[in-house]
Structure 1
Amino acid sequence: MRRVPWLSPLLCGVVLVAGAYAGLAGLGETRWVPFAAGLVGLVLVDRVRWVPWLGLALQAGLVVLVAFSDGSGMARVLFLLLPFGAYFAFGRAVAVGVGVGCAAFMVVAFQVTAPGWTRSVEHVSDLLMFGIGVVLSLAMAELSAAAERNRVARDVHDGVGHHLTAVAVLLEKAVAFRGHDAAVADRAVEDARESARRALGDVRASVRALSGPFRLGDALRQLVGGLDVTVECSGDESRYAAPTLLALYRAAQEGVTNALRHGGGARVEVTVHCGASRAELTVVDDGPGFGRREGFGLRGLRERVAEVGGSVDVDGSGGTRLTVVVPR
């Protein structure tokens, strides 16, 4: 699972401003060299893939360094990075243990640096607020992990699910033509083999998170290769960001998969137009129509399109028409 990339820079930025203000205004003693070096180190450590225990140990050491170099006391908020990072590296149980350990460390630090701190409203409130912060950071980690699991599930369903449906359709075609036209049957088997390769490529693309440039027109033509599906693209897709184009591609996958699996019709058409103000994609088949109940695929598609500000409409009267509109 992926961490939230902006959390560490945000907290480090807040601590930098607070520590700099305290040092310059004479409100506290900020040791500039270890303070700045520790903050830079925290941001860099969060960007590198470490062995989990080593990464957590480095992060903990840098947080302690910044905390004892900060004149404002704001650096205590950086301890929240430890249970948050531990959640993604080791799971919930370890993250809770790390959070309790951080709270215990703060109690010991207060006892050493401020004897009688239990009678100080400021120190007690700091400890209580830290406890609330640990709870909120773990809740944020849970939500982030749930969103990541949902994204992976959608990618598997939209990508691999489409290709497996295509493989099944092509193998059925090969069986049907085996005794009548061997050439057609052999071609269907070859197309099924190619769809299986594309399924593997789709998995690798999801793992790489589409590190290369994405071309909607090319991807759609590859999507329907070997299938009785027509594709028509118009407009300028370069006007649109990659997440928008990927959402349109996944919509086409879902529409074509449903048409092949449930449509029962002989004709499937995919049309996409990337206009100046909006992009519109339609998938039409001449099958028996679409029932009222929507499965996981369409629900996931609505969520994916909503993330890029678009809308999804399904018309099941006289065949099925899937329409996706996304503003530029």
Structure 2
Amino acid sequence: MDVGLAAVAVVLFVAVALATGVRSPWQGVIPLALFLGALLLVRRRLPMTVLLLSVAGIFVYHLTSFSPAGWIWPASAAYFTAAATRHVRWVAVVGLAQLAYSAIDFRFALETNPSRYVFHVAGEGLLLAILVVAGLTYAASVRSRERLRESDARVRVAEERLRVSHEVHDIVAHTLAVVGVQLNVAADTLKEEPAEAAAALRLAQDVRNRAMADLTSLIDVLRDDHGGTGPQPDLGSLGTLVADARAAGLDVTLDEDGDPGRVPAVAAIAVHRVVQEALANTLKHARAAKAEVKIRYGPRSVTVEVTDDGDGGAGPPGHGLTGMRERVDALGGVLTAGPVPGGFSVRADIPVAGSMV
């Protein structure tokens, strides 16, 4: 863009000079035009230096040769760029000084054509004001965009931390449910069936170890100096959830229909968490013996339904159900939970069309 601007400045200055009566462009006009254009190539790095050198070149040009070309407009780009920096006051001082000298240098027109003199001085002054205001406006818009980007970044960080808090809740709830059941089994069978008690404790330990690994990767996200996140849960780990629930004494069946490969990562995580939280609630609260997990992978949505033969537990919905609903809502889906004939059901419809990542 700077190269293009420099080329336009060179062509425009030479064209205006020729149009205003200059007959020997190589004697001042073209050298000054090339000088002004070359300065524009470094205007971003050295804005005040470019402005001062441009003004100096214009002064030399007007002092060594007569030309009706203006004083301010040949340095328009330099004025605009410098006005967008913190040196805007010095830009105004330089511009007013140049404008004052222009008025003095053009005073001969007062005797022959006063209106032309007023038009010249007023036009140069108006152009200077426009350039300074434009530079200030541009600088303000840049700062506004930077603040907006910073605000968006803070919002994304807050959303990510909220998501991580949901993940932590889901992991802890599921782990406590499975481990709690296994500890109860171990306590009941410790004297009569020590081998069964030992197996229950080993399973509880395995579930605990997996949960600790997941929590470690998630807690890293909450640290200011985190370097990334661990692998996210996916549809391939649904079997592990079902196996844990079965080991805890719940008769669980998993029925999948369709192509899970079409489900994008963000929807796959939501499916996993819905199943995880629903099974955890069944183990902790529902007093259920059986549960059925049905997943339908459609071309436009995934339907997840977890049904058990329990009573759904007593009391108002907990954070788990609220977290599931927020997660599904964020993806544009719908989650319903409530009693059904013979038990309790959690159903989530999660759209996937157009969300492939």
Provide the secondary structure at the position in 2 that maps to 1:228: coil
Q: Deviations over 1:25-46 (max 9, x none)?
A: 5599699998xxxxxxxxxxxx
Retained in 2: the 8 A contact 1:159–1:203? yes
Q: What are the equivalent positions in structure 2 for 1:1-328 lying under 5 Å apart?
A: 22=5, 25-26=8-9, 67-68=44-45, 108-111=86-89, 115=93, 120-204=132-216, 206=218, 209=229, 211=231, 215-216=234-235, 218-224=236-242, 225=244, 226-229=247-250, 230-234=252-256, 235-289=258-312, 293-317=316-340, 318-328=342-352
Q: What is the alpha-carbon distance in structure 2 between the residues aligned to residue 24 and residue 198 of structure 1?
A: 65
Provide the secondary structure at the position in 1 that maps to 2:213: helix
Q: What is the alpha-carbon distance in structure 2 between the residues aligned to residue 21 and residue 310 of structure 1?
A: 50
Q: Deviations over 1:114-173 (max 9, x none)?
A: 646896322333344345445434432331222121011011111233113211221122
Provide the secondary structure at the position in 1 that maps to 2:332: coil
Q: What is the alpha-carbon distance in structure 2 between the residues aligned to residue 149 and residue 252 of structure 1?
A: 22
Q: What is the alpha-carbon distance in structure 2 between the residues aligned to residue 305 and residue 151 of structure 1?
A: 12
Q: What is the alpha-carbon distance in structure 2 between the residues aligned to residue 321 and residue 222 of structure 1?
A: 21
Q: Tell me, which stretches of 5 or more residues in structure 1 are unaligned?
A: 1-17, 35-65, 71-104
Q: What is the alpha-carbon distance in structure 2 between the residues aligned to residue 148 and residue 113 of structure 1?
A: 45
Q: What is the alpha-carbon distance in structure 2 between the residues aligned to residue 147 and residue 215 of structure 1?
A: 20
The aligned counterpart of 1:47 is none
Retained in 2: the 8 A contact 1:231–1:270? yes
Cα RMSD after superposing both structures:
3.6
Retained in 2: the 8 A contact 1:310–1:326? yes
Quickly say closer, same or farther: Cα 1:154–1:223, change in 2 above 3 A.
Answer: same
Please identify the structure whose Cα radius of gyration is greater: 2
Question: How much has 1:189 moved relative to structure 2?
Answer: 0.4
Quickly say closer, same or farther: Cα 1:275–1:129, change in 2 above 3 A.
Answer: closer
Retained in 2: the 8 A contact 1:280–1:323? yes
Retained in 1: the 8 A contact 2:287–2:313? no
Q: Percent identity?
A: 26
Retained in 2: the 8 A contact 1:290–1:315? no
Question: How much has 1:233 moved relative to structure 2?
Answer: 3.4
Q: What is the alpha-carbon distance in structure 1 between the residues aligned to residue 5 and residue 339 of structure 2?
A: 65
Stretch deviating more after TM superposition (237-246 or 186-195): 237-246
Q: What is the alpha-carbon distance in structure 1 between the residues aligned to residue 294 and residue 346 of structure 2?
A: 10
Count of aligned pairs between the two proteins: 244
Q: Tell me, which stretches of 5 or more residues in structure 2 are unaligned?
A: 13-35, 48-82, 96-127, 221-227, 353-357
Retained in 1: the 8 A contact 2:217–2:229? yes
TM-score of the two chains, using structure 1 as the length reference: 0.62
Quickly say closer, same or farther: Cα 1:231–1:192, change in 2 above 3 A.
Answer: same
Q: What is the alpha-carbon distance in structure 2 between the residues aligned to residue 255 and residue 31 of structure 1?
A: 68
Quickly say closer, same or farther: Cα 1:110–1:262, change in 2 above 3 A.
Answer: same
TM-score of the two chains, using structure 2 as the length reference: 0.58
